Chains A and B, each alone.
Chain A
């Protein structure tokens, strides 16, 4: 484990050196990303000029909702920084045969393929998320319970694990298909569901969608559960959601590992 951490830090260091080589590009990526976040926040502020709450009786008033948004920003920035660059590169590696060089190295291929690139500019959103959370927490209707504060980092990790598993399964599809340039698009569509409180998915269409995105592809657990724990009072139902999220994260990691290994065993390599 220490060795893998050490190797990851070496990768991260190399990526930072590279990012600093192209400083203008790095700054531009940070600015673009922050700009997009600023527009989202402005949109949510606009919404709250029309309504005091997202869904009557849901508890998602302005400050709790911004804690929700901050949680989403933190989780997404971790995934975007640590895993997405490698997953996106995998498509090209499979197509050109670059994956060959990874498979001959004495390390876990999934680790190498999913963590060899770090996009430091994506951490900018995470930092904004932390700032937003620090602004929202003192303004919540009820301060978070100490247990909630302890659970929050665990649930953030679970959210990251669920998203990571999805990335890995999409990457495995790349190995099967040989080319999967819609990987990022598909990722965007999927994670879009996780960006809003689960309560908005109700009614004849919303109910089944909510069930699908909770029990089949547990994308709704990613942000909703940690955000609910930190921003709303702890309840018995909330406790079950916490247990379900931990279970879903574990199951997602195991399933994605199996899918990825199966895909690697079918790898054909590109012609030289």
Chain B
């Protein structure tokens, strides 16, 4: 799809330049502590205590055209701050960034026509009006010519199956319906870069799945560059090949989904379904950390030893079924959040740290 009325500047990508390049990006906020109690509040009027909070601490990132990058981190990690900086909403304390060759916080119209930001917790459609009215407004703001607007709108509306919702006031829609229409609005001007800030937050499983399918399809078709912040592993697994893990304003991991498993876990999970509940002592003799749930035994076995030890286990325990799986991604990432350990990056996509 291409904007027939607006010439696109593809020069930054055509020369092999990254779509997004961030170097040493830092954002600090001065926050005021509000003391508890009436006297402290009155005293605070004249003598406020402030401290500096580092929302981002010198982040480096390079994203190529067409990448779908997930940014994962606990609350307050700096994910949304990062997207706000890349969208030009706020200015950094230090560092530099370019998106599509532009410095975001210069807020040029040319740059702002080429990306979109969808925030799961903020409503950008007119609350009291049908979404169709917001789309019309969007058409004017982004200078989309009528044939292109109608073609794109119809395509997106059909993909998400929301045609019947277009004329209902946004305030009457469910959260999932609203988010679908937010996405339609964001994509009407066919942005080259899409920033998604927790788009699936609060959605039920069906709505999440619908959004996953839609985003995967649109991103692949348009070769859009997407950065998605989320708390949900399902979003990451369904959509992204590259994962950036952020905690306390720093990137802990930047690499592929597959490599995070190799890099951060030394074992696999072997689940045995037995004929009957096993003898605990016999299981303990295997020498691996284990959990017993009735006739089911869950073992954590060193990855390098799986091939050696598994045949013996299968022979001796009356095993009906067995599965060998990687440690769930949620568990790995949760452990990373807890430990806050830095462990390097995928050499192909990010600089070591």
Interface residues of A (CB under 8 A from B): 3, 6-7, 10-11, 14, 17-18, 21-22, 96-98, 100-101, 103-107, 109, 265, 267-269, 271-272
Q: Determine whether the beta carbon of A103 is less than 8 Å from that of B89.
A: yes
Residue numbers in B under 8 Å from A268 (CB-CB): 29, 90
How far apart are the CA atoms of A37 and B80 in the complex, in Å? 48
Q: Determine whether the beta carbon of B89 is less than 8 Å from that of A106.
A: no
Q: Does B169 contact A (CB under 8 A)?
A: yes
Residue numbers in B under 8 Å from A96 (CB-CB): 122
A-B contact pairs, 17 of them (CB 8 A): A3-B140, A3-B143, A6-B140, A7-B141, A14-B126, A17-B133, A18-B126, A97-B122, A101-B117, A104-B88, A104-B116, A105-B112, A105-B141, A106-B112, A106-B141, A268-B29, A272-B197
Q: Does B60 contact A (CB under 8 A)?
A: no
Q: Determine whether the beta carbon of A14 is less than 8 Å from that of B198.
A: no
Residue numbers in A under 8 Å from B198 (CB-CB): 272
User: Given A268-B29, A269-B84, A14 and B89 touching (CB < 8 A)?
Assistant: no
Residue numbers in B under 8 Å from A101 (CB-CB): 117, 119, 122, 124
Q: Does B220 contact A (CB under 8 A)?
A: no
Q: Does B137 contact A (CB under 8 A)?
A: yes
Interface centre among A10, A17, A268, A272 (most CB of B within 10 A): A272
Starting from the known contacts A17-B133, A106-B141, A267-B89, 9 additional A-B residue pairs (CB-CB under 8 Å) come to A14-B126, A14-B136, A100-B87, A101-B117, A101-B119, A104-B87, A265-B91, A267-B90, A272-B121
Residue numbers in A under 8 Å from B331 (CB-CB): none
Interface centre among A7, A104, A265 (most CB of B within 10 A): A104
User: Given A7-B140, A14-B129, A272 and B124 touching (CB < 8 A)?
Assistant: no
**Least distance between B145 CB and chain A CB atoms (Å):** 13
How far apart are the CA atoms of A265 and B112 in the complex, in Å? 16
Q: Determine whether the beta carbon of A98 is less than 8 Å from that of B29.
A: no
**Which A residue sits closest to B90, measured CB to CB?**
A269
Please encode chain B, from 197 to 231, with 1 for each CB lying within 8 Å of some chain A CB and 0 for all others: 11000000000000000000000000000000000
Q: Determine whether the beta carbon of A10 is less than 8 Å from that of B143.
A: no
**Least distance between A3 CB and chain B CB atoms (Å):** 7
Please encode chain B, from 131 to 153, with 1 for each CB lying within 8 Å of some chain A CB and 0 for all others: 00110110011110000000000
How far apart are the CA atoms of A98 and B124 in the complex, in Å? 8
Q: Does B113 contact A (CB under 8 A)?
A: yes
Q: Determine whether the beta carbon of B109 is less than 8 Å from that of A100.
A: no
**Which A residue sits closest to B91, measured CB to CB?**
A265
Please encode chain B, from 305 to 331, with 1 for each CB lying within 8 Å of some chain A CB and 0 for all others: 000000000000000000000000000
Q: Which range contains the number of B residues in contact with the other chain?
A: 35 or more
Q: Determine whether the beta carbon of B89 is less than 8 Å from that of A11.
A: no
**Which B residue sits closest to A271, measured CB to CB?**
B80
Residue numbers in A under 8 Å from B90 (CB-CB): 267-269
**Which A residue sits closest to B138, measured CB to CB?**
A105
**Least distance between A114 CB and chain B CB atoms (Å):** 15
Please encode chain B, from 171 to 209, with 1 for each CB lying within 8 Å of some chain A CB and 0 for all others: 000000000000000000000000001100000000000
Q: Determine whether the beta carbon of A14 is less than 8 Å from that of B119.
A: no
Q: Does B163 contact A (CB under 8 A)?
A: no
Interface residues of B (CB under 8 A from A): 29, 80, 84, 87-91, 107, 109-113, 115-117, 119, 121-122, 124, 126, 128-129, 133-134, 136-137, 140-143, 169, 197-198
How far apart are the CA atoms of A152 and B110 in the complex, in Å? 40
Q: Determine whether the beta carbon of A18 is less than 8 Å from that of B84.
A: no
How far apart are the CA atoms of A268 and B80 in the complex, in Å? 12
User: Given A14-B129, A14-B133, A107 and B119 touching (CB < 8 A)?
Assistant: no
Residue numbers in A under 8 Å from B128 (CB-CB): 18, 21-22
Q: Determine whether the beta carbon of B169 is less than 8 Å from that of A21.
A: yes
Residue numbers in A under 8 Å from B119 (CB-CB): 100-101, 272
**Least distance between A59 CB and chain B CB atoms (Å):** 48
How far apart are the CA atoms of A271 and B136 in the complex, in Å? 29
**Least distance between A17 CB and chain B CB atoms (Å):** 6
**Which B residue sits closest to A10, measured CB to CB?**
B140
How far apart are the CA atoms of A22 and B112 in the complex, in Å? 34
Residue numbers in B under 8 Å from A105 (CB-CB): 112, 141
**Which A residue sits closest to B134, measured CB to CB?**
A14
**Which A residue sits closest to B169, measured CB to CB?**
A21
How far apart are the CA atoms of A104 and B341 in the complex, in Å? 35
Residue numbers in B under 8 Å from A11 (CB-CB): 137
**Least distance between B89 CB and chain A CB atoms (Å):** 5
**Least distance between B125 CB and chain A CB atoms (Å):** 10
Residue numbers in A under 8 Å from B110 (CB-CB): 106
**Which B residue sits closest to A265, measured CB to CB?**
B91
Q: Determine whether the beta carbon of A269 is less than 8 Å from that of B91.
A: no
Residue numbers in B under 8 Å from A267 (CB-CB): 89-90
Lowest 3 CB-CB distances: which A-B pairs, in order?
A: A106-B112, A106-B109, A101-B124
**Which A residue sits closest to B136, measured CB to CB?**
A10
Residue numbers in A under 8 Å from B91 (CB-CB): 265
How far apart are the CA atoms of A175 and B30 in the complex, in Å? 15
Q: Determine whether the beta carbon of B107 is less than 8 Å from that of A107.
A: no
Residue numbers in A under 8 Å from B113 (CB-CB): 106
**Which A residue sits closest to B133, measured CB to CB?**
A14
Q: Determine whether the beta carbon of A14 is less than 8 Å from that of B137.
A: yes
